[in-house]
Amino acid sequence: MPRRQPVPRAAGQATAAESSTKGRIEQAALELFAAKGFEATGIRDIADRAGLSTAALYHYMGSKDELLVAFMVESMTELIRAARAAIDGCDDPAGQLAALVRTHVGFHTLDAQRSLVADDELRAVSDVAFTKVMQLRDGYELLWAETLDSGARSGEFSFVDARITRLALLEMCNGVARWYSDRGPKHPSEIADCFADLALSMVGATRSGQPVRLADLRSRPTAEILALVETELRGSNDSLDAAVIA
């Protein structure tokens, strides 16, 4: 029975997540976690999909739990970085909100599986990792809270309760990863734009009495924001290249 050869890889060359054995394992695990849930996915399922034995899995990973935690930490870290970059230099609340929403929705469409797992499997991780992921999430939600607060203070936004509005916004945007399909009728950028308008309406964004829409904003174009998201996604999907470059 032939063994798999080590994958030749030139430094700096772009490498898809599935081309390395470790990448194949992560991709297999991600697909199964997203489709069946973490608890319902066995290591034999992962091994089968990756085309390996269960023993070989442990040559590349620590444990099933560590795999999940890695997905979550990576996902949240990249999302935070993308969001910071998207609102950077944007000082009006409406523009910030539109940037946050489009970044979040872009992330949840372009990497729907990892986003879904990161959002929904928190209860499966142990106390230590749970705390770490929750801290990341709190930091991310702070970006939203600050944007909503500044909009409310300046009078550009009007809503009854900031906390409830933030929770509603975030759940609405998280939900994208639950129904999005790349075979659906809408491109991620269309969905992102649509959600930005929904969010602006939701918070009652107005300027000189008139409702503000995405088209009215002198804001970063959606293509630019999605490019930011893709940069973050590419950054971790092949951590090998990052190691080579460093």
Residues that bind DNA (CB under 7 A): 1-6, 21, 41-45, 51-59, 63-65
Q: Which stretch binds its own copies (CB under 8 A): 20-28, 62-70, 131-139, 168-176?
A: 168-176
Distance CA 246, CA 234 (A): 16
Collapsing DSSP to helix, strand or coil, 207 comes out as strand
Residues 6+ apart with CB under 8 A from 58: none
Q: Which does 197 bind (CB under 5 to 8 A by kind): its own copies, DNA, none?
A: its own copies
Give me the least distance between CB of 169 and its own copies, in Å please. Answer: 8
Window 99-138: residues binding its own copies (CB under 8 A) = 120, 123-124
Question: How many whole angstroms from its chain centre is CA 94?
Answer: 22
Q: Could you give the maximum distance between any two Cα atoms of the chain, in Å? A: 73
The residue from 179, 182, 209, 210 that contacts its own copies (CB under 8 A) is: 179
Q: Would you count residue 242 as binding its own copies (CB under 8 A)?
A: no
Collapsing DSSP to helix, strand or coil, 169 comes out as helix
Of 44, 46, 50, 48, which is closest to residue 68 (Cα–Cα)? 46
**Burial bucket for residue 67 (CB in 10 Å: 0-12, 13-18, 19+):** buried
Q: Which does 2 bind (CB under 5 to 8 A by kind): its own copies, DNA, none?
A: DNA
How many residues touch its own copies under the rule CB under 8 A: the total is 36
Binding site for its own copies (CB under 8 A): 35-37, 39-40, 120, 123-124, 159-161, 164-165, 167-172, 174-176, 178-179, 186, 191, 193-195, 197-198, 201-204, 211
